[in-house]
Structure formats: C-alpha cells, structure tokens
Amino acid sequence: MRIFLDADILVSVLNKEYPLFTYAARVISLTDNKKFTVYTSPVCLAIAFYFAEKKSGTQLAKQKIKLLSEKITITAVGKNEVIQALENKQANDFEDGIEYYAAVNNKCAVIVTEDMSDYYFADIKVCRAKNFLEEYLF
C-alpha cells in the first residue's frame, strides 16, 4: 500500500510533539515494512525543516531531514501538480492542492494528516495517524 505523509506528521516526529509523536513515528516506521511504501513531497520536507530548524537549530534540522529522506520515498512535484492544484476549483489552499496531487500522481491510497479539513476535496482516503494504524495494522 502506498501512503502519503503530510507535513504535520513529519513535524510531529521531528519535534517530538506529543501525543501525536507516538502515532506519527509508528506510521513513519512503516518504511521498514514491505507492505507499505511511504511517500512525502519536497514541499512537506521543506515545511518540516522550517519547524524543526526553529526548535533544534539548522544543523540538527538538516540531520533529521536527511535521515527522513533516506527512509521515505520523495515524490516529484512539478508543473503537472502545480497546474492540477490551480485548476481544481475545490482546492482552496494551493499548498494542500500540490500535496494532494503529489499523492494522487504517485498512486497513493491514503493521505495521513492530522488536519483532515485540508483535504476536504480529496477523492482518495484521508485519515489521522492513529486511525490509519487502527485500520491497517491492528
């Protein structure tokens, strides 16, 4: 199963934000499970870096992003995703539209995020980390 992680999942792990950290870290650990391919986008990594840098400083934030980048499959985000996000009249938030189309164009079955309202327009499943684990692992 292909899953896409939104920036808030990455931020919670990089900054150890409880109680979400427990569930988000478990979802990210699925990179070691052959049943799952875990995706994120360069935009999500940039957002996660921004917040990790504020909390941990530049050097540690870079180390954390590097470690994530070695584990997670990074989608391409280019002209197609930008155009699709702009043309989708339901996607009011441009960044969320780009994330959505990065997930869709990489055939992800689920977007894991804590802010499900960001993807109110989605045609693929959207769920919180805890709910994803309950549905697909337990």
What are the sequence ranges of the domains in the chain? 2-136
Q: Is the pTM of this model over 0.85?
A: yes
Q: Give tens-digit pLDDT for 71-106.
A: 999 999 999 999 999 999 999 999 999 999 999 999
Third-level CATH fold of 2-136: Rossmann fold (3.40.50)
Cβ partners under 8 Å of residue 126, min gap 6:
110, 111, 113, 116, 119
Read out DSSP for 20-62? HHHHHHHHHGGGG-TT-EEEE-HHHHHHHHHHHHHHH-HHHHH
Cβ partners under 8 Å of residue 97, min gap 6:
84, 85, 86, 88, 91
Q: Give tens-digit pLDDT for 100-133.
A: 999 999 999 999 999 999 999 999 999 999 999 9
- The two tokens of residue 17 are 């934000």
The pLDDT value recorded for residue 92 is 92
